Each structure stands twice: as structure tokens, then as C-alpha cells.
Amino acid sequence: MNDQADSLRKLVTAQENGALQQPKLTRIVTVTSGKGGVGKSNFSLNFALMLQRRGQKVLVFDADIGMANIDVLMGFSAPHNLYHLLKREKTIWDIIQHVPSGIDFIAGGSGFRDLVELPQSELDYFGEQIARLSGHYDVILFDTGAGLSKETVKFIAAAQETIVVTTPEPTSITDAYALMKMVRSMHEDVSFKLVVNRASDIREGKQTADKIAMVAKQFLQIEVPLLGTVMDDANVTKAVKKQVPFALAYPTGEAARSIDVIARHFLNEEGNAAPAEVGLKGFINRMLRLKK
Ligand SMILES: Nc1ncnc2c1ncn2[C@@H]1O[C@H](COP(=O)(O)OP(=O)(O)OP(=O)(O)O)[C@@H](O)[C@H]1O
Ligand SMILES: [Mg+2]
């Protein structure tokens, strides 16, 4: 390990030790899916808002290299993004947008494409900048693009928790399973939980999750618990058109209420990381290790 990475680890350890006094160990969560368009970005944004409403400090990271998603859903354009950080034109604090609705947000922009190709020194710099967030957030959510780009795999493997979003449609179910299978073939220690989106009722959510859990158990020997179900709700499309998150535009609608239940569930459960590798420190260590 080079000196820079070593001093980075010391910095993170010192910051997390400091943070332990006012316990704030960041949960790092990647939101992904096999099939595209199943509702990852809407889930990530509104989940973040609901967590925030429950007193959590949340940062949403738009890790979709193809398309900016989250900012469009908020009707907001980020002047700086990860690209400016990697080019060392901006610090991590400069690229965090404090959105009026209350969440903090980082746009990936074209920066993500560079992330897997970065030389070690640049990656260490990225890690060092991310490490500065230690103690500031309870949850960092990465909203990824659909399917498995190299970047997405990297975030899944480095994050402490991975939420796989699926709908009840058979194509979405098989793609969710295929994604888990592919990730597990590359990184054996990654675990998943499911969010079933666009269900017509709780029962359909549970049935969808049961199907996935059953094949995952049989063929991958893993448990894939259901984190929760989000109802199919016409308010979501209306909110997308208005460019206002549905949790704000239609807070009493079915989708918003489902997400609030999921937020409550999420806060009551333990993170599912290996104990030695939690928080930002674990995330950064894994990012650095994966690069080698
Ligand atoms: N719970 C829901 N009820 C009704 N419609 C929904 C729901 N969730 C998502 N949608 C619809 O699906 C569309 C796509 O959602 P979203 O952009 O969040 O998907 P995504 O998985 O992030 O897509 P991509 O793979 O392109 O990043 C929304 O614009 C909306 O019309
Ligand atoms: Mg999206």
C-alpha cells in the first residue's frame, strides 16, 4: 500500500474515532436494479427525504453515468459534479448541493466514467475527499444506473448495503436475479435486500420477493430479505412531470406512505456489513482494495 493510501486510512480512522463520541457511523447504501426504469431514482430520492424526515442526515449521490436522474426529478441543475472534484477544481464540499427540499446531493456527471480508470493516486484523492464526510451523514445513498457497468459493480462491492429494486413483472424479476448472480460471481461477500416497486398491493410485493428469495436461496445460497414494497401510484408520474419529489408533492399518497414504512423499517434494522468494515472507513478501504 502506498504512503498516500496509508495516511488516508489514518485520517479516516482518526475521524471515525472522533465521530464515535457522537455516534454517527455512516450507512453506505447502493440502490441498483437489473432492468432499467423500475424506479430506482424515484425510490432513492424519496427514501432519502423520508429518512431525513425521521431525523437522519442523508447524502444522495447520483452514480448513474449515463443520465443525470435525481436532479431532473427535483427540477434542479447542479453547477458542479464529480468531474470537477476528480479534476481537483472543486472540493467535496463545493460539489455537494444543498437542495431546498432538504437533502444534500452530489451529481456524478461525467466523472463516474473516469472512476474505474483512475490511477491509484487519483483514487486515493477521491477516497480522501470522501473521507471528509465522516461524521457528517447518517446515510449515503448511491443511485446507480440499471445493469452492471464496471462502475456500478465497484460501488456495490464497496458499499455496506445493496438494495435491489424490482417490479412484479417477470422480466424485472429475472433481471434482478441475474444481477445478484453476476455480482456474487465477482464478489462473494456482497449481500442484498429487495424493494418491490409498483406493486398493486402488499401481497403482490411479498409474492414477488418470495420468488426472488427462493431462487437466490436455491441457486446462490443467499438470503435476500424484503426491505419493503412501494405501491404503484399515479402520483409518482404526476410528481415526475412536475419535477417535485412525490414525497413532497403527494405526501399522503400511497407511494409516499409506502416509502415512509420502508424508512422506518430501514432505521430499525441493522446494516448488513461485516462488522470490521462498516461506515466510510470500510467503504473507502474496499474502494482502494478493489482498485488493486
Ligand atoms: N411507485 C410507482 N408508481 C407508479 N409509477 C412509478 C413508480 N415508480 C416509478 N414509476 C414510473 O417509472 C418511471 C421511471 O422511474 P425512475 O426514473 O425512478 O426509474 P429508474 O430505475 O431510476 O430508471 P433508470 O434505469 O433509467 O435509471 C417514473 O418516471 C414513473 O413514471
Ligand atoms: Mg435512474
**Average pLDDT value for residue range 206-226:** 97
Between 87 and 193, residue with greater pLDDT: 193
**Average pLDDT value for residue range 260-267:** 97
pLDDT band for position 1 (cuts 50, 70, 90): very low
Per-range mean pLDDT, top range of 44-48, 82-86, 135-139: 44-48
Between the CA of 48 and the centroid of ligand 2 the distance, in Å, is: 14
**Average pLDDT value for residue range 1-21:** 59
pLDDT of 20 > 50? The answer is no
* Strands across the sheet containing 58-63: 97-98, 104-107, 58-63, 139-144, 27-32, 161-166, 192-199, 226-231
pTM of the predicted structure, to 2 decimals: 0.89
Report residue 155: phi and psi, to 5°: -70, -40
Predicted confidence (pLDDT) per residue in 169-180, tens digit: 999 999 999 999
Delimit the domains of the chain by residue range.
23-291
pLDDT mean across residues, the chain: 87
Q: 19 near 273, Cβ under 8 Å?
A: no
Q: Which atom of ligand 1 is nearest to the CA of 43?
A: 18
Between 275 and 170, residue with greater pLDDT: 170
Between the CA of 30 and the centroid of ligand 1 the distance, in Å, is: 17
Among 134-138, 152-156, 209-213, the minimum mean pLDDT is found in: 152-156
Query: What pLDDT does 111 receive?
Result: 59
Query: What nine digits make up the cell of 192?
Result: 442484498
Neighbour tally for 225: CB within 10 Å? 13
What's the rounded Cα separation, in Å, for the pair 227 and 194? Answer: 5
**Average pLDDT value for residue range 257-265:** 98
Query: What pLDDT does 280 receive?
Result: 85
Q: Taking the domain 23-291, which CATH number applies?
A: 3.40.50.300
Between 290 and 70, residue with greater pLDDT: 70
Between 64 and 44, residue with greater pLDDT: 44
Query: What pLDDT does 114 receive?
Result: 62
CB under 6 Å to ligand 1: residues? 33, 36-42, 64, 69, 145-146, 197-198, 230, 232-233, 236-237, 240, 255
Predicted confidence (pLDDT) per residue in 104-133, tens digit: 999 887 656 666 667 777 777 888 888 899
- Which conformational region is residue 95 in: left (phi greater than 0), alpha (psi within -120 to 50 degrees), or beta? alpha
| Closest residue by CA, ligand 1 atom 25 | 36
Query: What nine digits make up the cell of 142?
Result: 448511491
pLDDT of 194 > 90? The answer is yes
**Average pLDDT value for residue range 75-80:** 86
Q: Which ligand is closest to the CA of 46, given by its number?
A: 1
Q: Which atom of ligand 1 is nearest to the CA of 232?
A: 3
Between the CA of 72 and the centroid of ligand 1 the distance, in Å, is: 12
What's the rounded Cα separation, in Å, for the pair 223 and 238? Answer: 36
Between the CA of 37 and the centroid of ligand 1 the distance, in Å, is: 5
Between the CA of 42 and the centroid of ligand 1 the distance, in Å, is: 6
pLDDT of 12 > 70? The answer is no
Pick from 240, 241, 258, 261 the residue to mutate for probing ligand 1's pocket: most ligand atoms within 8 Å of its CB: 240
Query: What pLDDT does 135 receive?
Result: 86
In sequence order, which residues have a C-beta less than 8 Å from that of residue 175 and are 6 or more positions away? 33, 34, 35, 147, 166
In sequence order, which residues have a C-beta less than 8 Å from that of residue 257 and are 6 or more positions away? 231
Q: 264, exposed or middle or buried, with CB in 10 Å at 0-12, 13-18, 19+?
A: middle
Q: Which ligand is closest to the CA of 69, given by its number?
A: 2
**Average pLDDT value for residue range 15-30:** 67
Pick from 31, 41, 47, 62 the residue to mutate for probing ligand 1's pocket: most ligand atoms within 8 Å of its CB: 41
pLDDT band for position 102 (cuts 50, 70, 90): confident
| Closest residue by CA, ligand 1 atom 15 | 39
